Amino acid sequence: MRLTGFEDRAAFVTGAAGGIGVALVRLLRASGAKVFATDRADALAVQSLPTDCGIMWHPLDVRDGAAVDAALAAAVRVFGPVTHGVHAAGVLSTQPLLASTDEDWQRVIDINAGGTFRVTRALGRHMAAEGKGAIVVIGSNAGGVPRQNMGSYAASKAAAAMLVRCLGLELAPLGVRCNIVAPGSTLTPMQTGMWADDQGAARVIAGDLASFKTGIPLGKIATPEDIAQAALFLLSDQAGHVTMADLYVDGGATLRA
């Protein structure tokens, strides 16, 4: 089955230069969408990014609400009304909570939770005025499962997930759907940056009883494309009756009911 609803539509993506973000840009474009892809200026400068006439790259810091609004306005000028929005921008923190400073906490919350607020607010206002649209936020299974040395990150992702569900409730009568994809361990620089050696993947798959972390029942780490495909489904016509969902894509790692 081919997912539909993307041909000649405009999509707005944040965090588009990251592993999951690049996969999303490629899939959206392959599905026929025109993609306004955003990320930090430094991230855009160092990545090998997909380019063609249907993709425009634009620097954006999601901590700046005015910049978010301006970027979305630019997307509308270039490609027309935005009907698909994906917020994939985020940062990781592996600091124990007791060792975290106010600055550590504020940075993670401001980007992961605050960024979600600013981006989905802008998308929601635009789509509500158009009377249609779909928004997907890339969260984390850490938003629903306690993690050692990831308290700030987990809290920020939990806040983002509830924000999206509340926004989905507000926007449902206006024809706009809002959903979350919650990845587990995914083969991106964010994940591999936590590995000390070439056994990192094996340890993640096996789990670690001492740190109360389950393994991955499917026996493999997700690829960015695995996460992007799930997001693409939630954006598609085939998910037209799905909103306020929190879809865990983690190979069963959370043992979630």
How does DSSP assign 19-48, residue by residue? HHHHHHHHHHHHTT-EEEEEE-HHHHHHS-
Q: Of 154 and 214, which is predicted with more confidence?
A: 154
Position 37 scores a pLDDT of 98
For the cut 80, the answer to whether the pLDDT of residue 187 exceeds it is: no
- Any idea of the CA torsion for 73, 76, 79, 81, to the nearest 10 degrees? 160
Position 58 scores a pLDDT of 97
Closest CA to 140 of 157, 163, 123: 157
For the cut 90, the answer to whether the pLDDT of residue 204 exceeds it is: no
Q: Do 143 and 160 contact (CB within 8 A), yes or no?
A: yes
Dihedral sign (CA 52, 56, 57, 63): negative
Dihedral sign (CA 152, 23, 124, 181): negative
For the cut 70, the answer to whether the pLDDT of residue 8 exceeds it is: yes
Closest CA to 27 of 40, 42, 38, 37: 37
Q: How far apart are CA 155 and CA 133, in angstroms?
A: 28
Placement of tokens 């600055």 in the chain: 103
My answer on whether 69 and 172 are in the same domain is: yes
- Kindly report, residue by residue over 29-41, the tens digit of the pLDDT: 999 999 999 999 9
Q: Per-residue pLDDT averaged across 145-167, rounded?
A: 96
Q: How far apart are CA 223 and CA 125, in angstroms?
A: 32
Q: Terminal CA-to-CA distance of the chain, rounded, Å?
A: 28
The percentage of the chain sitting over the pLDDT mark of 70, rounded to a whole number, equals 93
My answer on whether 81 and 170 are in the same domain is: yes
My answer on whether 155 and 211 are in the same domain is: no
Q: What is the mean pLDDT of the chain?
A: 93
Q: Which helix (H) or strand (E) element contains residue 182? A: strand 176-183
Position 257 scores a pLDDT of 63
Q: Per-residue pLDDT averaged across 120-130, rounded?
A: 98
Q: Per-residue pLDDT averaged across 225-242, rounded?
A: 98
pLDDT category of residue 212 using cuts at 50, 70 and 90 = confident
Position 190 scores a pLDDT of 63
Q: Per-residue pLDDT averaged across 173-194, rounded?
A: 83
pLDDT category of residue 207 using cuts at 50, 70 and 90 = confident
Q: Distances from the Cα of 130 to the Cαs of 84, 150, 216, in angstroms?
A: 12, 39, 41
My answer on whether 16 and 35 are in the same domain is: yes
For the cut 70, the answer to whether the pLDDT of residue 194 exceeds it is: no
- Kindly report, residue by residue over 42-83, the tens digit of the pLDDT: 999 876 899 999 999 999 999 999 999 999 999 999 999 999
My answer on whether 215 and 121 are in the same domain is: no
Retrieve residue 109's tokens.
Answer: 């919350």
DSSP state of 111: I
Residues annotated as catalytic (active site), given as ranges = 153
Placement of tokens 């806040």 in the chain: 159
My answer on whether 72 and 195 are in the same domain is: no
What is the three-class DSSP state of 163? helix
My answer on whether 214 and 162 are in the same domain is: no
The percentage of the chain sitting over the pLDDT mark of 90, rounded to a whole number, equals 83
Position 46 scores a pLDDT of 72
Q: Which residues pair with 14 in a beta bridge?
A: 87
My answer on whether 85 and 69 are in the same domain is: yes
Domain CATH code at residue 107 = 3.40.50.720
Whole domain around residue 207: which residue ranges? Answer: 190-221
Q: Is residue 21 part of a domain?
A: yes
Q: What is the pTM of this model?
A: 0.94
